[in-house]
Chain A
Amino acid sequence: MTHRIDFQTDPSRYRHWRVEYDGEIANLYMDVDEQGGLFPGYELKLNSYDLGVDIELADVVQRMRFEHPEVKVVVMQSAKDRVFCAGANIRMLGGASHAHKVNFCKFTNETRNTFEAAEADSGQKYIAAVKGACAGGGYELALACNYILLTNDSSSSVALPEVPLLAVLPGTGGLTRVTDKRKVRRDLADVFCSVEEGVKGQRAVDWRLVDEIAPNSKFDEVVQERAREFAAASAKPSNLTGIELTPLDRRFAEDGSLTYSAVEVSIDRAGGRATLTITGPSDPAPASVAELQWQGAQAWILRAARELDDAILHLRLNERQIGTLVFQTQGDPTAVLAHEALLLANRDHWLANEILHYWKRVLKRVDMTSRSLVAIVEHGSCFAGPLAELLWAVDRSYMMLDEFEGDNRPLAAVTLSEGNFGPYPMGNDLTRLQTRFLGAPETVDTLRGHVGKALEAAEAEELGLVTYAYDDIDWEDEVRIFLEERASFSPDAMTGMEANLRFAGPETMETRIFGRLTAWQNWIFQRPNAVGPDGALQRYGTGVRGDYNMERV
């Protein structure tokens, strides 16, 4: 592999961010190292970012939750003079392949969603303290915060200059958050998104682009004051102690296969697929949340989530020829349920709560993965509780029916838990079961009556929990032929089809970002007006504007 992008990092390795902890307040400084780009060929000037910068931010946000539950307010600010953040690095974008751009945007979107949800999920409120230029992706960072303070120095502004400057969209949630979250009037939003220099001062407040402006001389003071007020108003318990997110136990084999403690990824390059096998817990569930906290990152239910998360990210960015992801599990379903049950019974405990929310995010990451997803429910598997969610995240599922010759593992079963009826919603705010049975909501009620019951293949198929159940005789052929057929289709058509079929039901800001905004952005990313030799991205910085083909498509 030429250059593997690693999503694992820790504070000792940060080059672009730093956090100063001050009791219930954490000051998060963006201080991008110009020479610290992930790839050669560009400098990260003016706090502009690339994927590497965002990987660190994602790590900051994740550790904030697990390692620093005492924090109630996070102040996102710049450590540089006169610039908050200039957004995604243009030269990086200009030089990146289409596929990299798309994956980069998806990951940055997921990270924005993650810290945006931190207030509701974890009682950690993010404030953007904007001093200096806050443009494009910079303003999108601020938009994802829960409160935006802008200094009123008559030059600092917030801006989305992508359209006039680069002929692309503010694609990291910008357009969507302006209208759906900030609720800026659409004609004003149209003005705002068409002017390079953005909007500053009182007008920014009037147009709802920021929550508050403060005089420059008192800005830092006001920021800290707000932070203290928010912390004081927080309903979150104080003086919580975190756990350490220790490094993952992860080994790469020569052929690119990956082994974690509870997750295994094997790669079939000729077949264009990866098989992710999650192993159920081998130890009994912790007896109490105290024991859970003592186990910390070693607790199976957290470990498995972190490993699955890392595996998905790795496959997305580093294994782009792998078009199909096959999910399998092995283990004792009742043990999986027991581990989950502890969390469900203690949702008011910060760590139990965090782990449940983390599973929610990991499963959303699976939903959002642009690969053909399939679950193979073999004998001896443990598709129960959170792992059962995978069955409804994937595009199709195949389940072993009845006994197989020479296979003495316990018969394949799907086991539902209360967890399947709320804690892990999809981006559309419905559970996967609600989404799956959109046309028959009563089925979800029926299924609730089956919680805790091992549903074998015939019943699981009957209830609509799996796509196909096949016996010994048909199994091998059916699965093989499906995988071969899948691998023969156009990957573009597959991605498009799957993305459209996966997210039935209502739109949310999240689905609008990943559906509407992303799709338009990815289209523009293919168009010569943006990426052609005379397009705006290539010409950026030359002083010459992009040469546009004026035909409306």
Chain B
Amino acid sequence: MLDLINVSYDTQIPNNVGLSQDKKVLKALEKWHPGYINWWNDLIPQNFQQSMVYLRTAVSVDPKGWAKFDYVKMPEYRWGVLLAPQVENRTIPCGEHYGQPAWQEVPGEYRNLLKRLIVIQGDTEPASVEQQRLLALTAPSLYDMRNLFQVNVEEGRHLWAMVYLLHKYFGRDGREEADDLLRRQSGSEEAPRMLGAFNEETPDWLSFFMFTYFTDRDGKMQLESLAQSGFDPLSRTCRFMLTEEAHHMFVGETGVGRTIERTCQVMKENGIDDPFDVDRIRGLGVIDLPLIQKKLNLHYTLSLDLFGQEVSTNAANAFNAGIKGRYMEARITDDHQLQSDTYVVWDLVDGKAVQKEVPALTAINMRLRDDYTKDAAGGVGRWNKIIEKHGIDFELKLPHEAFHRKIGVFANLPFDPEGKVVTGAEYDKGLPEWLPTHADGDYIQSLMKPCYEAGQYARWIAPPKVGIDNKPGDFEYVKLHMA
């Protein structure tokens, strides 16, 4: 355990922000830290807390320091405060202050806007750990368990990163918000997490992989746009977080990919060509491809909702203020102010989904969501390659953005995954083919049996091609503490 009374902040908290000299942040962090440790300890079952996990720790931002691998007990993980190196003479990349020197201090005018964005981002970080807290009990392998914990501790570090900004730049309000980040709990009735999608439990490992692939990718896109912030400390923080986020995407993509791989292998071994021969496939203890499509439909559409309304004045304000940019803002060749540009978004006209032009400034959310969809399509293509390689006639697809939405113009309307309006009856009938049913959930649950032998994998998932840190196949990624 950390020695809470004598925490040496410069060694136990890797940082490149001169923490030991920063009286203000130190004082705030000293008050916040015990609450964080309590939060962590109450979260994940104790036997995992006491286990030695082969984790990567970032101790500095240079290539040598950002990935140090070693065994560590999670409560002793060294959560750091690391910002990407300062870019000299950086300017505000968008909006009405375009081209002015980036802010090193919070501009009073935008204090509340900035604080809100940081709090929302910060709220998602611990939320996902809470959602995943029991997954280790059903880990399909020590390798996967280690990946889960790696994602968890890094989400914890992302929380630290946001708390650092709140402590450093937002005074008393910031400290209160930092405390509230620990007070809210995923799924709590008293004080739930801010965004709906973060209050759903992650019930099984396929959900976890889908979550890290689709929902973490929303997080990635938000970080990408905050990395373009004119408030330099936020930009630098997010840029460093993105390096870790890439690993979370990797866990998601390979997790789903390995599940598909295993299904295809087992189908082939047993001479099944029809991917819709669900009963037989399930009889063999693997997850049928149509169910994977349904899970994909669910997680993709939930994640789309996280982008908010199609036309948003909040997003327009944040962009215009220079607080939040677009994906790869610097690579876009326009005036970065968008005072008179337009952008094409989906809208609902006479009950049909149609595309129309709206002022680009108000379509900032949609543009980011479109970028997200493009980004998400890449992995889907690679999954299809696996299926193709096995000679199975099945293609995974991202559903139309009108399908299964709770937010925006298409919210709660009967669109099918192709984006076609259907009747209520057709919708009811189609639903079990489009989204996971309770029975599907039961089936997946039945597969969730732990597999804690080094080098062994649950039947429904294939082993990875390469180990973490190039470790051999039988490497013991987690030395379980079995008290």
Q: Is the CB of B171 within 8 A of A478?
A: yes
A491 to chain B, nearest CB (A): 14
Indicate whether A484 reaches chain B with its CB closer than 8 angstroms. yes
Decide if B172 is an interface residue (CB 8 Å cutoff). yes
Contact A474 B108 (CB under 8 A): no
B24 and A482 contacting across the interface, CB-CB below 8 Å: no
Please name all residues of chain A whose beta carbon is closer than 8 Å to the beta carbon of B109 when the two chains form the complex: 484-485, 487-488
In the complex, whether B107 has a CB less than 8 A from a CB of chain A is yes
Closest to A405 in B: B23
Q: How many residues of chain B are within 8 Å of chain A by beta carbon?
A: 14
Per the 8 Å Cβ criterion, residues 91-125 of B in contact with A are: 105-109, 111-112
User: Complex: how many Å from CA A485 to CA B24?
Assistant: 22
Residues 332 to 372 of chain B near chain A (Cβ within 8 Å): none
B319 within 8 A of A: no
**Nearest-CB distance from B27 to chain A (Å)?**
6
Distance between Cα atoms of A97 and B169 in the complex (Å): 42
Is there a chain B Cβ closer than 8 Å to A230's Cβ?
no
Q: Are A474 and B106 in contact (CB under 8 A)?
A: no
Bound state CA distance, A487 and B111, in angstroms?
13
Q: Are A473 and B23 in contact (CB under 8 A)?
A: yes
Would B172 and A485 count as touching, CB distance under 8 A? no
How far apart are A158's CB and chain B's nearest CB, in angstroms?
A: 51
Which label, helix, strand, loop or mixed, suits the secondary structure of the A interface?
helix
Do B23 and A487 have beta carbons less than 8 Å apart?
no
Per the bound structure, the CA–CA distance linking A484 and B106 in Å amounts to: 10
Closest Cβ of chain B to A537, distance in Å, is 37
Tell me how many residues of A have a C-beta within 8 Å of chain B: 15
B111 adjacent to A481 (CB under 8 Å): yes
Q: How far in angstroms is the closest Cβ of chain B from A510?
A: 34
Once bound together, how far apart are the Cα atoms of A482 and B172, in whole Å? 13
Which residue of A481, A486, A487 contacts B171 across the interface (Cβ within 8 Å)? A481
CA distance A478 to B24 in the complex (A): 13
In the bound assembly, the distance between CA atoms of A483 and B105 in angstroms comes to 14
- Asked whether, in the complex, the Cβ of A484 is within 8 Å of the Cβ of B108, the reply is yes
**Chain A's nearest CB lies how many Å from the CB of B381?**
47
Note all chain A residues with C-beta closer than 8 A to B107.
484
Shortest distance from the beta carbon of A470 to any chain B beta carbon, whole Å:
7
CB pair A474–B111 under 8 Å, yes or no, is: no
Chain A residues near B108 (CB, 8 Å)?
480-488
Residues of B close to A488: CB separation below 8 A = 108-109
Distance in Å from the Cβ of B454 to the closest Cβ of chain A?
49
Which one of B24, B28, B108, B169 has the greatest number of beta carbons of chain A within 10 Å? B108
**For the complex, what is the distance from the CA of A1 to the CA of B112, rounded to whole Å?**
36
Alpha-carbon gap, A483 to B106, bound state (A): 12
Q: How far is the CB of A402 from chain B (nearest CB, A)?
A: 12
Contacts of B28 in A (CB 8 A): 473
Q: Which of A468, A473, A481 contacts B106 (CB 8 A)?
A: A481
* A478-B172 contact given A473-B24, A473-B27, A485-B111, CB 8 Å threshold: yes
- Known contacts: A483-B108, A484-B109. The answer to whether A477 contacts B27 by CB under 8 A is no
Closest to B112 in A: A485
- Enumerate chain B residues within 8 angstroms of A483, measured Cβ to Cβ: 108
Q: Is the CB of B171 within 8 A of A470?
A: yes
Which of A468, A474, A483, A486 gathers the greatest number of chain B CB atoms within 10 Å? A474
Residues B8-67 near A (CB distance < 8 A): 23-24, 27-28
Closest chain B CB from A271 CB (angstroms): 10
Chain B contacts for A470, CB-based, 8 A? 171-172
Name the A residues within 8 Å of B172 (CB-CB): 468, 470, 474, 478
Q: Which of A468, A484, A487 has the most CB of B within 10 A?
A: A484
Query: How far apart are A196's CB and chain B's nearest CB, in angstroms?
Result: 50
Chain A window 460-477, contacts with chain B (Cβ cutoff 8 Å), 1 for yes, 0 for no:
000000001010011001
Task: Give Cα A488–Cα B169 distance, bound, in whole angstroms.
Answer: 19
Collect the chain B residues with CB atoms within 8 Å of residue A468's CB: 172
Chain A hits for B112, CB < 8 A:
485
What are 18 A-B contacts with C-beta separation under 8 Å?
A470-B171, A470-B172, A473-B24, A474-B24, A474-B171, A477-B105, A477-B106, A477-B169, A480-B105, A481-B111, A482-B108, A483-B108, A484-B107, A484-B109, A485-B108, A485-B111, A487-B109, A488-B109
Q: Closest 3 A-B residue pairs measured CB to CB?
A: A484-B108, A488-B109, A485-B108
